[in-house]
Amino acid sequence: MPPSSREAVAVPDTESPSVPDPDGAGTNPEQGSAVVEFTFLALLLMVPVVYFVITLGQLQGGSFAVAGAADQAAKVFVAQTDAGAGRAAAEQAVQLALADYGQPAGNATLETVCSSPDCTAAGSAVTVTVRLTVPLPFVPFGEALRLDAGHLSATATQIVGRFR
């Protein structure tokens, strides 16, 4: 009987199943490099992202700090009986508000402006402005290098009441 064209022709198998080589000569040189590449890229990309998030957190905390400090300083200023005591109470309120948010009080300035010559006169408007310089986090020698994340300011105005 002549061979039909549909008969299967046996082809020798050149690919043998992977058998571990005891001396390691036949292993793939690329094996395990994905872990190294992932670790390297993760560090390369994630460290700046994490630092950026921390810096934004410092700026956000600083903005809350100056807003609260200005508001409290204006409120305690108008509650005092004279301008000297008002300025001292306002400075103390600013230091306390900045400390609550973890901001150094040495980076802040306080400015007080009154609408009339007598700051404690009834109906006088007292405007308090607090300015804060937020340093970059984790920077060694930050004061010498003068690297700042931002400069923030907030203003609050209170009217001295008619009755005390």
pLDDT, one tens digit per residue, over 80-121 is 988 999 999 999 999 999 999 989 889 999 999 999 888 888
Q: ∠ at Cα 140 (42, 47), nearest 5°?
A: 10
Crossing angle of helices 33-79 and 83-100, in 10° steps, is 160
pLDDT bucket at 11, cuts 50 / 70 / 90: low
pLDDT bucket at 144, cuts 50 / 70 / 90: confident
Contact between 62 and 132 under an 8 Å Cβ cutoff? The reply is: yes
What does the pLDDT read at residue 5? 57
More confident residue, 133 or 16: 133
Quote the CA–CA distance of 88 and 25 in Å, as a whole number. 80
